[in-house]
């Protein structure tokens, strides 16, 4: 006699009765806040054009300050691509390459800076972490390491078409923000070569006014011609669960990054509304 086939067991869930594009089902997926994977970590984005393109005089003081900060804070570094990525984008655009290939090219230049930063910080525990090793971050941090990652998100060929032009909207500022939000990070700090956000480019307009604090929506409503941070980050900031503000600090001024990691307001803070 053949054995009786056991009945299929179904786990009750509101998601079983429709597609995952149905608005009512998406609302029902809000079971609560996601876990904070690494709630004590601080994600620090180092601008390629702001620092590496300036050479030793800018990079070495920042390396030493980061090494001191890592003695009392958990830090993950995300590296930008700098002028080399802009040069590569320009050639790619002239050749007619699509956005996905441009995104992959942008990642390769950021990887070069990540390699250099890892060598400079090796004696302090700097370790280059690839996307494939992302799950090892807790181990590296627990053992006193300073993980260094490519800031560009790994969308590459799957990068969505931007609203304007063909240059990928999700570049290194966006990549480190998405990483910080996923980890539930304590802070997200962008280390630039400016004190923060201004009403205009202070390098070109000496009358530009400094903006110490602003909401992401207020900044989007201003619609400035240029920004010190990628526009797409402002949209992500308003949707985030945990990284509800970011701070832009001037890394060329010694000690400001140290103070920012301690929770001080030393640059421009861009924040989301109170409710996510």
Question: What pLDDT, on the 0 to 100 scale, is given for residue 236?
Answer: 96
Q: How far apart are CA 68 and CA 74, in angstroms?
A: 11
Neighbour tally for 6: CB within 10 Å: 6
Structure tokens at 253: 């001024």
Q: Which residues of the chain have pLDDT under 70?
A: 1-3, 8-9, 14, 28, 30, 274-276
CB-count burial class (<10 Å; 0-12, 13-18, 19+) for 134: middle
Question: What pLDDT, on the 0 to 100 scale, is given for residue 276?
Answer: 45
Question: What pLDDT, on the 0 to 100 scale, is given for residue 12?
Answer: 72
Domains in the chain, ordered, with CATH? 35-271 (3.40.1160.10)
Question: What pLDDT, on the 0 to 100 scale, is given for residue 35?
Answer: 92
Beta partners for residue 246, in sequence order: 270
Neighbour tally for 75: CB within 10 Å: 23
pLDDT in tens, 97-113: 999 999 999 999 999 99
The CA dihedral of 271, 151, 166, 97, to the nearest 10 degrees, is 180
CA 241 to chain centroid, in Å, comes to 15
Residue 246: left if φ>0, alpha if ψ -120 to 50, beta else—which one?
Answer: beta
Contact 74, 189 (CB under 8 A): no
Structure tokens at 107: 């990642």
| 76 sits in which H/E element | strand 74-79
**Is the pTM of the predicted complex or chain greater than 0.75?**
yes
Q: What are phi and psi of 171, to 5 degrees?
A: -110, -150
- The CA-based angle 142-147-153, given to 5 degrees, is 130
pLDDT in tens, 124-151: 999 999 999 999 999 999 999 999 999 9
Structure tokens at 66: 């980061």
Contact 230, 175 (CB under 8 A): no
Q: What are phi and psi of 146, to 5 degrees?
A: -120, 95
């Amino acid at each position: 006699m053949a054995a009786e086939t056991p009945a299929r067991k179904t786990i009750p869930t509101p998601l079983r009765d429709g597609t995952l594009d149905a608005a009512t089902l998406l609302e029902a997926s809000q079971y609560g806040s996601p876990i904070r994977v690494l709630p004590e970590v601080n994600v620090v984005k180092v601008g390629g054009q702001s620092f590496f393109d300036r050479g030793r005089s800018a990079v070495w003081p920042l390396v030493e300050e980061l090494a001191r900060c890592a003695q009392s804070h958990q830090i993950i570094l995300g590296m930008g691509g700098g002028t080399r990525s802009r040069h590569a984008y320009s050639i790619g655009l002239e050749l007619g390459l699509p956005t996905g290939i441009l995104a992959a090219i942008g990642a390769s230049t950021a990887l070069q800076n990540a390699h250099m930063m890892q060598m400079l910080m090796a004696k302090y525990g700097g370790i280059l972490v690839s996307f494939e090793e992302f799950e090892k971050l807790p181990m590296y941090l627990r053992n006193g390491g300073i993980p260094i990652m490519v800031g560009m998100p790994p969308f590459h060929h799957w990068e969505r078409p931007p609203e304007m032009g063909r240059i990928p909207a999700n570049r290194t500022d966006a990549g480190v923000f998405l990483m910080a939000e996923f980890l539930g990070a304590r802070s997200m700090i962008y280390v630039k070569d400016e004190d923060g956000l201004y009403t205009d480019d202070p390098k070109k307009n000496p009358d530009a006014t400094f903006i110490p604090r602003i909401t992401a929506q207020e900044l989007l409503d201003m619609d400035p011609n240029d920004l010190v941070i990628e526009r797409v980050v402002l949209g992500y900031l308003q949707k985030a669960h945990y990284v509800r503000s970011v701070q832009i600090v001037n890394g060329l001024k010694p000690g400001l990054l140290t103070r920012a990691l301690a929770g001080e307001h030393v640059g421009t803070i861009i924040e989301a509304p109170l409710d996510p």
